[in-house]
Chains A and B, each alone.
Chain A
Amino acid sequence: MSIWEYANPKKFMQTSSWALPWVAGLALIALVTGLVWGFFFTPEDYKQGSTVKIIYLHVPSAMMAINIWVMMLVTSLVWLIRRHHVSALAAKAAAPVGMVMTLIALVTGAIWGQPMWGTWWEWDPRLTSFLILFLFYLGYMALWEAIDNPDTAADLTGVLCLVGSVFAVLSRYAVNFWNQGLHQGATLSMDKEENISDVYWYPLLLCIAGFILLFVTLVLIRTRTEIRARRLKALEARERMA
């Protein structure tokens, strides 16, 4: 039993069709519990009032926005090195999800920032680097759309993902240098003394788990769609040949 078994589309389809309802169900449970708990059963912050509750959308989506790019980097590497089609299709399937996560993080941040900072948008390093990340997602998806041959598209987007990762990280630190931040530091970390209070922490944890599961669900669905579309194309091609 190794992970490379799932490089076989058939095996992938079998396992994912079995796993999909479970993952989707868990995602739903975690999200609904986490959000309801977070929105209605946590106290209001003494400074931020009820606006603090946007954290249950903002933090998980921001985490996912970055981690989905990392996942695309890994799957692109797997495709470039081992030529497993499922891997390339998973990267393709993840990109729009990542883009939407980035957008959610930006929009919820703006909604929170309006009453708290008094502005919808600030050229703060974190905000700016998220905007740049959003552009990287757009470029990546546009390149997938533009190329007809699926293998060529997978190769080129893979290379773009590698180069883009380096420059996304570089931009992240360059903008740090360019402007001082308004955004608060990390709310969650393993090694700091003072973290977010437990009242907010547990529902937040549930929401993060929900977002991860939601992402897995969406990527599984989208990858399955891509594999089916690929099969359909192969069938059509065979039809034309006959």
Chain B
Amino acid sequence: MIALLLRDLRLAIRAGGGFGLGLAFFLIVVTLVPFGVGPEGGVLARIAPGILWVGALLACLLSLDRIFALDFEDGSLDLLATAPIPLEGVVTIKAVAHWLTTGLPLVLAAPAFGVLLHLEGSANFWLVLSLALGTPALSVLGAFGAALTVGLKRGGLLLSLLVLPLYVPTLIFGAELVRRGASGMETQVPLLMLAGITAACIAVVPFASAAAIRVNLR
């Protein structure tokens, strides 16, 4: 499984763009929003948690179709499915690799983007915390969507239609956590809910993804 993880990471980095593309996209979203809503600091700071979370969702979405598509095309997914490690494990590792290449960079870069949007210091802490807790769920759920659409020629648009509604709870609790943290309200409920959703997603969703891949490889 470690070997598979390293292989996926290496592929993502060497295939060009995989690593930084999500980050660049995130930057563009953050740059474009002030053009749309005007440059006043107060407004930006108020909507910053939402922008950053929605930007994270979209950046995550961009690279989803590559989780399984390339392996499906060249047949290595068939090999992985017949390999001694369970397919559920393969799916989980793929999601982890996806998170390491898109989710983690976003988490690490988020404070910088927060500064761009006039987010205050304490709010930045909550932003990083909420993204760190929430983005793994995005990757695992995205892997499920990718598994559903892996056999399709043009799955990209369909993939977003399938996956984005699944992101709603994570987005709500993630953005709420930042908002509450920024205004000094109690944060325990959204924090626990966000962590709970992520933990449950990691535990359960790979089974559904593996089932979908088995159907697609039939």
Q: Could you list which residues of chain A lie within 8 angstroms of chain B, going by C-beta atoms? A: 132, 135-136, 138-139, 142-143, 146-147, 152, 155-156, 159-160, 162-164, 167-168, 170-171, 174-175, 177-178
Known pairs A155-B215, A159-B208, A175-B172. 8 more at Cβ < 8 A?
A135-B164, A152-B215, A155-B212, A159-B211, A162-B208, A174-B169, A174-B172, A177-B172
- Is B132 interfacial (CB-CB < 8 Å)? no
Q: Are B151 and A143 in contact (CB under 8 A)?
A: no
- Is B162 interfacial (CB-CB < 8 Å)? yes
Q: How far is the CA of A136 from the CA of B165 in the complex (A)?
A: 7
B residues less than 8 Å from A132 (CB atoms): 165, 168
State how many angstroms separate the Cβ of B199 from the closest Cβ of chain A: 13
Q: How far is the CA of A163 from the CA of B162 in the complex (A)?
A: 11
Q: For the complex of A and B, list the 6 residue pairs with the smallest distance between their C-beta atoms, beginning with the closest.
A: A174-B169, A155-B215, A174-B172, A135-B165, A171-B168, A139-B162
Q: Are B176 and A167 in contact (CB under 8 A)?
A: no
A residues less than 8 Å from B148 (CB atoms): 143, 156, 159-160
| Contact A167 B216, CB 8 Å, known A143-B158, A146-B155, A177-B189 | no
Instruction: Find the A residue at minimum CB distance from B144.
Output: A163
B residues less than 8 Å from A174 (CB atoms): 168-169, 172-173, 193
Q: Are B169 and A170 in contact (CB under 8 A)?
A: yes
Chain B, residues 39-73, CB within 8 Å of chain A (1/0): the string is: 00000000000000000000000000000000000
State how many angstroms separate the Cβ of B53 from the closest Cβ of chain A: 12
Q: Are A171 and B165 in contact (CB under 8 A)?
A: yes
Q: Are A146 and B149 in contact (CB under 8 A)?
A: yes
Question: Which of A142, A159, A175 is in CB contact (< 8 Å) with B158?
Answer: A142
- Is B161 interfacial (CB-CB < 8 Å)? yes
Docked complex: B174-218 residues within 8 A CB-CB of A? 176, 189-190, 193, 197, 205, 208, 211-212, 215-216, 218
- Is B166 interfacial (CB-CB < 8 Å)? yes
B residues less than 8 Å from A152 (CB atoms): 151, 215-216, 218
A residues less than 8 Å from B218 (CB atoms): 152
Q: How far is the CA of A147 from the CA of B151 in the complex (A)?
A: 8
Chain B, residues 98-133, CB within 8 Å of chain A (1/0): the string is: 000000000000000000000000000000000000
Q: Are B161 and A138 in contact (CB under 8 A)?
A: yes
A residues less than 8 Å from B197 (CB atoms): 170
Most chain A beta-carbon neighbours within 10 Å: one of B144, B155, B161 = B161
A residues less than 8 Å from B176 (CB atoms): 177-178
